[in-house]
């Protein structure tokens, strides 16, 4: 199974919004509402920021939101802040207990 | 507070073996599936293996099947990954991860495994 496809990079100025796409197939993203998103500051532990397509764990700012349409999921970060500069990965359940991760997107706050 | 602390990484020659450990605290260890996820240098995340709460069910990514074995000791709140016949493309930071509802809700900081002669 191949990794989910994300753009390598995205950027925005403080206060702006950035949206990251995550494209899979009908066997993963399109087949289940189990898309999650992770924020990873290099050298630190990755952090879950969205689960089940749209759910934010406790403590995650509401600036982070998720959505899905067909085989593509999206993460939107609104009101960009300096601390949002990080790598972001999507993940989807792909059946038979397996999970796929996305290729990763590096977000730069200009 | 959930804590996952990996250990056991290091430099190993191709064909060699290494055993990773993960010490967990802050949650009911025996109630959750656990996974190992890795990140090769300059690459994205890759799920490697997972184990059921009582250890009765395990699954692996195809590239490590027959070489890696995941196990757990619920009495010690510990997760393990025995890695045999290591190859250069196994070089990565390995993360110990607690599974939530169809997601990975807590991660350790990782341990680096380098396979090189």
Tens of pLDDT, residues A71-86: 999 999 999 999 999 9
**Torsion sign across C-alpha atoms B105, A95, A86, A77:** negative
Q: Which two tokens stand for residue B109?
A: 């900081």
* A34, A40, A46 ranked by CB distance to B102: nearest: A34
Mean pLDDT along residues B59-69: 95
Q: What is the rounded average pLDDT of the residues A40-66? A: 95
Tell whether A44 is within 8 A of chain B (Cβ). yes
SS3 content of chain B, % helix, strand, coil (to 5): 10, 50, 40
CA–CA dist B78, A78 (Å, integer): 39
Q: Give chain A positions within 8 Å (CB) of B37.
A: 101
When pLDDT is averaged across residues A47-53 and rounded to a whole number, the result is 97
Statement: residue B85 has pLDDT above 70: yes
Q: A51, B100: Cβ pair inside 8 Å? A: yes
Classified as helix, coil or strand, B69 is strand
Percent of chain A with pLDDT over 70: 98
Q: In this predicted structure, what is the pLDDT of residue A1?
A: 65
**Which pair of tokens denotes residue A110?**
């200009």
Residue B81 per-residue DSSP state: E
Chain A residue with Cα closest to B34: A97
Separation of alpha carbons A25 and A72, rounded Å: 8
Going by pLDDT thresholds of 50, 70 and 90, the confidence category of residue A95 is confident
pLDDT of residue A96: 81
Report yes or no: A97 at the B interface, CB cutoff 8 Å.
yes
- At B14 the pLDDT is 97
| Cβ atoms < 10 Å from Cβ of B42 | 5
Cβ <8 Å between A52 and B107: no
Predicted local distance difference test score (pLDDT) of residue A62: 95
A34 CB neighbours in chain B (<8 A) are: 102-103
Which chain A positions have a beta carbon within 8 Å of B94's beta carbon? none
Q: For B34-40, what is the mean pLDDT?
A: 96
Q: CA B14, CA B88: separation in Å to the nearest integer?
A: 6
| B8: phi then psi, degrees, rounded to nearest 5 | 105, -5
- Judge whether residue A24 has pLDDT over 70: yes
Average pLDDT of every residue of chain B: 96
């Amino acid at each position: 199974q191949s990794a989910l496809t994300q753009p390598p990079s995205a950027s925005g100025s403080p206060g702006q919004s950035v949206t990251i796409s995550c494209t899979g197939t009908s066997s993963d993203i399109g087949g289940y509402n189990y898309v999650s998103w992770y924020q990873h500051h290099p050298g630190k532990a990755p952090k879950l920021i969205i689960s089940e397509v749209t759910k934010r764990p406790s403590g995650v700012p509401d600036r982070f939101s998720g959505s899905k349409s067909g085989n593509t999921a999206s993460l939107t970060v609104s009101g960009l802040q300096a601390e949002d500069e990080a790598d972001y990965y999507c993940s989807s359940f792909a059946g038979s207990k397996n999970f796929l991760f996305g290729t990763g997107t590096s977000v730069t706050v200009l | 507070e959930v804590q996952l602390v990996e250990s056991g990484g290091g430099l190993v020659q191709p064909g060699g073996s290494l055993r990773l450990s993960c010490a967990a605290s802050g949650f009911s260890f025996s109630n959750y599936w656990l996974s190992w996820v890795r990140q090769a240098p300059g690459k994205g995340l890759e799920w490697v293996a997972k184990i059921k709460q009582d250890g009765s069910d395990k699954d692996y990514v195809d590239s490590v099947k027959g070489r890696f074995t995941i196990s757990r000791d619920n009495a010690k709140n510990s997760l393990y990954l025995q890695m045999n016949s290591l190859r250069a493309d196994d070089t990565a930071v390995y993360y110990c991860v607690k599974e939530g509802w169809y997601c990975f809700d807590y991660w350790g900081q990782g341990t680096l495994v380098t396979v090189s002669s």
